[in-house]
Amino acid sequence: MGRFILDKKIGIGQPKRIENAKILVANTAMDTDKVKIYGARVRVDSMARVAEIEVAEKEKMKQKVQKIIAHGINCFVNRQLIYNFPEELFADAGILAIEHADFDGIERLALVTGGEIASTFDNPESVKLGHCKLIEEIMIGEDRLIHFSGVEMGQACTVVLRGARSLHDALCVLSQTVNDSRVLLGGGWPEMTMAKEVDELARKTPGKKSHAIEAFSRSLQAIPTIISDNAGLDSAELISQLRAEHHKDTTNAGIDVISGGLGISESFKVKQAVLLSATEAAEMILRVDEIITCAPRKREDRM
């Protein structure tokens, strides 16, 4: 059974549970419906006249709500705000009104419920409504969300993330791996292998250049140390083991932060991009050979 979660709350006085929901998804102004006056100005000589204009605008909004109710719905989801007056009218009619749903939210909701996004309501027969078996408010952690179950698209689902950035990073790595299927032994293996080769180059390079090459090697060796520290492992012990493994004939060892042992794989494309970006950033910083200092703050003369 398909399910969909909308990151919104049900307002005060609104029905908390709707069964066999008929949903109208809309993108329309429900704050105020101004009386349109073109090419002229209106001047009033008393507050009573202002009140008459407000009553006329209120009546227009009431008529708009009646047109929406005429669609035979019991749930109204709007991308824009719904002010108190139309919200009260919907509540009196037993209709759940959900306001300020973002554009992506209403597009997905219209898709999974089988409806369409409407902006005019003069012809109810031309508007395609969405349907689901149950709408209710649920709690996930400390957040209140609106849950649509039994939607038209039976395979629809919503993933509730605690740490969405981590999943986003993982999906980005997965997409790059699909585009370029080459993989490396990970967990610090590429950095330790490169550091070993850079160390050998530093020993063969005379002069001051060898110090810069050694510094680059040390920066590469810092990566597996950071991986171990972030995982809460004994980095000194693991790095010493890793260094010893890489000085053997078979250098295929990396750190597995889950088990604390050795062995893991990474995307070649991602590793290449990370290394190039870090090198370019360091090179850019080293090219800055001047320091801009601010002038000293002027002191006020004391009498």
178 backbone dihedrals φ, ψ, rounded to 5°: -65, -40
253 and 242 Cβ atoms separated by less than 8 Å:
yes
**d(C-alpha 72, C-alpha 256), whole Å:** 59
- The DSSP element (H or E) to which 285 belongs, if any, is helix 268-287
**d(C-alpha 283, C-alpha 281), whole Å:** 5
3-state helix, strand and coil shares in percent for the chain, rounded to the nearest 5: 45, 15, 40
102 and 110 Cβ atoms separated by less than 8 Å:
no
Residue count (the chain): 303
* Cα distances (angstroms) measured from residue 104 to each of 117, 135, 296: 12, 19, 52
- pLDDT of 73: 92
Question: ∠ at Cα 180 (176, 183), nearest 5°?
Answer: 90
- pLDDT of 158: 75
Eight-state DSSP code of residue 134: E
Which pairing describes strands 117-118 and 17-26: parallel, antiparallel, or unpaired? parallel
pLDDT tens digit at each of 303 positions of the chain: 578 888 888 888 888 888 999 999 998 888 765 655 655 677 777 888 778 777 887 888 889 999 999 999 999 999 888 888 888 889 888 899 998 887 777 888 888 888 889 888 888 888 899 899 999 988 887 788 888 888 877 666 777 777 778 888 888 888 887 888 887 777 777 888 888 888 888 888 888 888 888 888 888 888 888 888 887 777 788 777 777 777 776 667 777 666 655 566 777 888 888 889 988 888 888 777 666 666 777 776 655
- The DSSP element (H or E) to which 96 belongs, if any, is strand 96-98
Eight-state DSSP code of residue 240: H
25 and 52 Cβ atoms separated by less than 8 Å:
no
In sequence order, the β-bridge partners of residue 136 are: 17, 147
Q: List every span in the chain annotated with CATH 3.50.7.10.
A: 3-33+52-160
Domain 165-287 CATH class label = mainly alpha
- pLDDT of 119: 87
Domain 3-33+52-160 CATH class label = alpha beta
In sequence order, the β-bridge partners of residue 184 are: 266
**Amino acid, single-letter form, for residue 278:** A
Q: List every span in the chain annotated with CATH 1.10.560.10.
A: 165-287
- pLDDT of 180: 82
Eight-state DSSP code of residue 75: E
**Amino acid, single-letter form, for residue 75:** C
